[in-house]
Amino acid sequence: MLGTRKVVPGEDRRHGVTVAAQAQPDRWWFGLGRPTRPIEAGEGRPDGARAQTTQGYLWAFTADEAQRSVWWGTVSNAVGGGIATLAGDFAGSGLGVPVQPWDDPDNVTCEFASSYNAVHDVPPTQDIVGDVVPVQVWQHDIASGTSVERTPDAQQCPDFDRLAGLRAAGSIGVNEVQVRPAHRCSCALGGSRGPGLVLSC
């Protein structure tokens, strides 16, 4: 209907809940076991490709009152990664966990050990945990309503691309936010005059 704003999943206008930021499709997927590639701004859909959203799960979350910002870290492809991570526990209990690849275009696709990244040892994949991709860090400015990606690059934090998830976050000082990765990593970004991020274990 013209003039009607689309309702975003998670919004509840009756109770004043609006979605400030939402994960967007970030890669082209070409089929089970095939390589993917990032979606470039303004790019049309390549033949045989489907847009995928890999950063749809928020795991670490904190508020920075000094900057009036909300920070979060992601876990990528939480369904496939979660099932693969728990597969050993379920197998030990006698309960089977499906780790065979499946493709459901309307819901979720899980490739497990058959993913291109797992077969070619592209971090952070490991064995059957083949659906994970490097995580992201975001800062949302409450006043302006804008979100900025603050994911460190390889120069700022060389091992960041090996992280499968950012488990916890907390505000520890003026313009400084701490995010706890699920794996060992240590680096600091920013300073007391700008957006800051400390990653450590």
pLDDT in tens, 65-92: 777 888 888 888 888 888 888 887 777 7
Q: Give this prediction's pTM.
A: 0.77
Out of 88-92, 130-134, 161-165, least confident range: 88-92
Out of 1-5, 83-87, 106-110, 119-123, least confident range: 1-5
Q: Provide the residue ranges of all domains of the chain, joining segments of one domain with +.
A: 54-76+134-201, 77-131
How far is residue 103 from each of residues 25, 32, 33, 97, measured CA to CA in Å? 17, 8, 11, 16
Q: How far apart are CA 160 and CA 151, in angstroms?
A: 9
Closest CA to 69 of 31, 3, 20, 118: 20
β-strands 109-110, 102-103 pairing: antiparallel
